[in-house]
Amino acid sequence: MKQKPKPRIALLREKAGLTQLELSRLVGVTESTIQNWESGRTGTDHIERIIRFCKALNCQVEDLIEYMSESPEATGAQPSSLSEIHHLLGTEESATATSTDAEVTSTRHVKSS
């Protein structure tokens, strides 16, 4: 029987000094979605798909997203990596707030100081 990977979202979120609500806003999903992912109740199939893509293509997640996304010059805007991942996996959710990668990085630096 194939064992499913256990999500490390909670560990990484806590290490970043974020609450579930803060992470949900940065990722663009509901807080209950974060709770479900952290508990392993739902929602990690999309992560497994990304891992399989990367293994099949022998690349990192950043390589996959950069390769498949449109260039900023063509669209006039730079999409965030998180929104690109959601788009590629077909897991886009309506959110109360969205952010760019810069905002996520900025929040992490503030929290860890």
CA-based nearest residue to 79, from 88, 69, 89 = 69
**CB contact at 8 A, 25 and 95:** yes
Give the pLDDT of residue 66: 56
Does 73 map to a domain?
yes
**pLDDT digit string (tens) for 9-53?**
889 999 999 999 999 999 899 999 899 888 888 767 777 888 888
Burial 104-113 (b: 16+ CB within 10 A, else e): beebeeeeee
Angle between helices 81-89 and 101-112 (to 10 degrees): 120
Tell me whether residue 3 is in a domain: no
Cβ atoms of 49 and 89 within 8 Å: the answer is yes
Helix (H) or strand (E) holding 31: helix 31-39
Residue 2 lies in a domain: no
59-66: long-range pairs with CB below 8 Å, 24+: 61/85, 64/88
- Per-residue pLDDT of 51-70, as tens digits, reads 888 899 898 888 877 545 45
In the chain, the number of structural domains is: 1
74, part of any domain? yes
Domain span holding position 98:
9-112
